[in-house]
Chains A and B, each alone.
Chain A
């Protein structure tokens, strides 16, 4: 249980285009999902917290107009990188807060990540 998927796993796009990444909780409902970015040889940096039915909370220094987050259902959050540039190339990872009950509500379950390359 508690499986999170991401799609696509890899994407290459031209500079100036927009890219949408989907994060799905497959076997549980996730009211809260998180989006992270990881540059090579660095750790995960939280970009934003996505709450179902409300606006995302962005971390300091993350442009909310550039990284659009939509959490329209209890099993899906999307991250859209708008007007992507080469410096946005990174590994984007989502996670979902575990289902309440059963002791998993404090755990985050990670998706497999999306490798974005902007040419």
Chain B
């Protein structure tokens, strides 16, 4: 079956670093995506990992270990506008995306 787990909520302070973990068990694997979603809006693409290792993109980095079924999203120099829901999604064969329930990140000053 399909199972994607990520923490429900996290709180961090402005300027700090936060790591959001995601573990997955899916019937196929064609890459892992991280999306940011503000309330009432569509998800916006943050990162894509298909090979093991770290992908860095500005303040955001994402890591993947396929053997462990594990990924994390690292956000540095947190800003208030980073308060949002962060969705981990695995692409199965056939380009079907399976989403985790999302992690609500609250950034406090």
A-B contact count (CB 8 A): 47
Please measure, in the bound complex, the distance between the C-alpha atom of A45 and the C-alpha atom of B98, giving whole angstroms: 8
* A112 on interface, CB distance cutoff 8 Å: yes
* B27 on interface, CB distance cutoff 8 Å: no
- Mostly, the B contact residues are loop
Query: CB < 8 Å: which of A34, A111, A112, A115 contacts B97?
Result: A34
Residue of B nearest to A105 (CB): B95
User: Please, which residues of chain B bring their CB within 8 A of the CB of A93?
Assistant: 42-43
Instruction: Give the distance to chain B from A100, nearest Cβ to Cβ, in Å.
Output: 11
* Contact call A112/B96, Cβ cutoff below 8 A: no
The count of residues in chain A whose C-beta lies closer than 8 Å to any C-beta of chain B is 21
* A54 on interface, CB distance cutoff 8 Å: no
Residue of A nearest to B98 (CB): A46
Among A34, A44, A49, A97, max chain B CB count under 10 A is at A44
* Contact call A49/B48, Cβ cutoff below 8 A: no
User: Please, which residues of chain B bring their CB within 8 A of the CB of A95?
Assistant: 97
* Contact call A108/B42, Cβ cutoff below 8 A: no
User: Please, which residues of chain A bring their CB within 8 A of the CB of B48?
Assistant: 106-107
Q: Which residues of B contact A (CB under 8 A)?
A: 30-31, 33, 40-45, 48, 50, 87, 91, 94-102
Contacts A43-B100, A106-B95, A108-B95 given; 5 further ones with Cβ under 8 A? A46-B99, A106-B30, A107-B48, A111-B42, A113-B40
Q: Which residues of A contact B (CB under 8 A)?
A: 32, 34, 42-46, 49, 91, 93, 95, 97, 106-113, 115
Query: Can you give 17 contacting A-B residue pairs, CB < 8 Å?
Result: A32-B95, A42-B101, A43-B100, A44-B97, A46-B99, A93-B42, A93-B43, A97-B95, A106-B48, A107-B33, A107-B45, A109-B45, A110-B44, A112-B41, A113-B40, A113-B41, A113-B42
